[in-house]
Amino acid sequence: MSHSDSESAYFNNYPPPKALPKHESLAKSFIEYHVEADRRLVLVTSGGTTVPLENQTVRFIDNFSAGTRGATSAEYFLEQGYAVIFLHRQFSLLPYSRHYSHSTNCFLDFMDEGPPNDSNNSGHGPIVVRNEYQTEMRDVLRKYKYAKQNNRLLLIPYTTVSEYLFELRMLAKCMKPLGPNALFYLAAAVSDFFIPRDRMAEHKIQSSEIPPEFSNEEAVGSDDIYTGGFERKQPTSSKKLVINLDPVPKFLHQLVDGWSPEGSMIVSFKLETDPNLLVYKAQTALQRYAHHLVVGNLLSTRKWEVVFVTPEAPYERWIRVPKSRRSKSISGDEDQVGLAEAAKRQSEHPAVAATDAEEPPQDGDGHFGSREGTEIESLIIPELVKLHSKMIDKFHQQ
């Protein structure tokens, strides 16, 4: 099946998200506004995607992504003067409010009740931001207000992988009038596997036998597809659940060759856990889709290092937060920083022992240095903007 055949098969099989027409009209007026201003516009995708197991969804498969990369990157794009469409998993982190979320950095910890205000005799004081957070919160608040008041940020939510794909296609097509001013920054962690609509159970999959009079006429009985039947050795009324997933069609082809504006820049992310594979997989993705940049990252070191893999020299370029400015991360493993680069060098020159994992000194400063260390996105985005500028110049010289 060709890419466009698998595209049509996919989109014909799924109903579009209910909110798509509303999102389309919001996107069109947002884009028109920025086309008129000749402003650059980036579509940032962010967060995980769910894969429902039932049509009336009780259960779904999910992934780890909280949307930190996307939400943080969106802020640095706004700082660089870009307008941002933020296509995000519903309830994942958002630009600016991410600094004061409900779990880490709980927003309530930043507040106090001030002394009672005598004028209204209520005995209640006003809620105030604690002194030590005033500067940082004012800074975040000002940037947030600026983005809102100047129509620089459009938030579009999705939940499932299918909703994500419908929204991505719609937004890319709406972005056509932007031409080379459009940038795609695909940081969402999109599921590679899904259950096709014609194999999906309508109702909640049952974990125990139900009498035949209750069984309904689904296209495919949940018994046939999802359950492994009774265990012989262990008599029990519970059933196994065996899930059979298909690969999600590779939509980057369609984005590069059809949906996106002429001259636009497309940046995808490649996530791996094995340092030996990262650069190879990023290079393979770049060759396969023929776009402009793959940003490779390892799950364990993604907050401190990424690799830019490009079709032109220098082909592979590491960006790292200097050691002294790395934030602490519970999920990360700082000992792994440098391993993927060393593994790549080792594979190219097996005779040369892998060099140490230390990074060369780099310039660049994080904007939230005091509490959180340097954010790697503060190093990634300016570099990316330079590459985008080069592409725009080249486009206009043609």
67 binds ligand 9Z3 (CB under 6 A): yes
Contact 65, 191 (CB under 8 A): no
**Candidate segments 53-61, 268-276, 352-360, 373-381, binder of ligand 9Z3 by CB under 6 A:** 268-276
Burial class of 135 by CB neighbour count within 10 A (0 to 12, 13 to 18, 19+):
exposed
Separation CA 345–CA 215 (nearest Å):
59
CA–CA distances in Å: residue 131 to residues 40, 61, 99, 376? 37, 43, 17, 28
For the bound state, the minimum distance from the C-beta of residue 86 to ligand 9Z3, rounded and expressed in Å, comes to: 13
160 binds ligand 9Z3 (CB under 6 A): no
Burial class of 64 by CB neighbour count within 10 A (0 to 12, 13 to 18, 19+):
exposed
Contact 192, 63 (CB under 8 A): no
Please work out the total of residues on this chain that contact ligand 9Z3, with binding judged by CB under 6 A: 15
For the bound state, the minimum distance from the C-beta of residue 398 to ligand 9Z3, rounded and expressed in Å, comes to: 28
For the bound state, the minimum distance from the C-beta of residue 16 to ligand 9Z3, rounded and expressed in Å, comes to: 21
Contact 45, 3 (CB under 8 A): no
163-188 per-residue burial string, b: 16 or more CB within 10 A, e: under 16: bbbbbbbbbbebbeebebbbbbbbbb
For the bound state, the minimum distance from the C-beta of residue 13 to ligand 9Z3, rounded and expressed in Å, comes to: 21
Closer Cβ to ligand 9Z3, 35 or 279, answer by number? 279
Residues 169-188 that bind ligand 9Z3 (CB under 6 A): 186-187
Residue in 190, 255, 339, 385 binding ligand 9Z3, rule: CB under 6 A: 190
* Owner of token pair 């196994």: 240
Closer Cβ to ligand 9Z3, 3 or 199, answer by number? 3
Residue in 271, 286, 385, 392 binding ligand 9Z3, rule: CB under 6 A: 271
Closer Cβ to ligand 9Z3, 166 or 269, answer by number? 269
189 binds ligand 9Z3 (CB under 6 A): yes
* Owner of token pair 């650069």: 279
260 binds ligand 9Z3 (CB under 6 A): no
Separation CA 281–CA 284 (nearest Å):
5
270 binds ligand 9Z3 (CB under 6 A): yes
**Candidate segments 62-70, 100-108, 161-169, 211-219, binder of ligand 9Z3 by CB under 6 A:** 62-70
306-315 per-residue burial string, b: 16 or more CB within 10 A, e: under 16: bbbbeeeeee
Residues 77-136 that bind ligand 9Z3 (CB under 6 A): none
Residue in 254, 297, 300, 378 binding ligand 9Z3, rule: CB under 6 A: 297
Closer Cβ to ligand 9Z3, 261 or 332, answer by number? 332
Contact 92, 45 (CB under 8 A): no
Residue in 66, 279, 337, 339 binding ligand 9Z3, rule: CB under 6 A: 66
302 binds ligand 9Z3 (CB under 6 A): yes
* Amino acid code (one letter) for 396: H
Separation CA 302–CA 124 (nearest Å):
45
Closer Cβ to ligand 9Z3, 169 or 270, answer by number? 270
Q: Which residues bind ligand 9Z3 (CB under 6 A)?
A: 65-69, 186-187, 189-190, 268-271, 297, 302
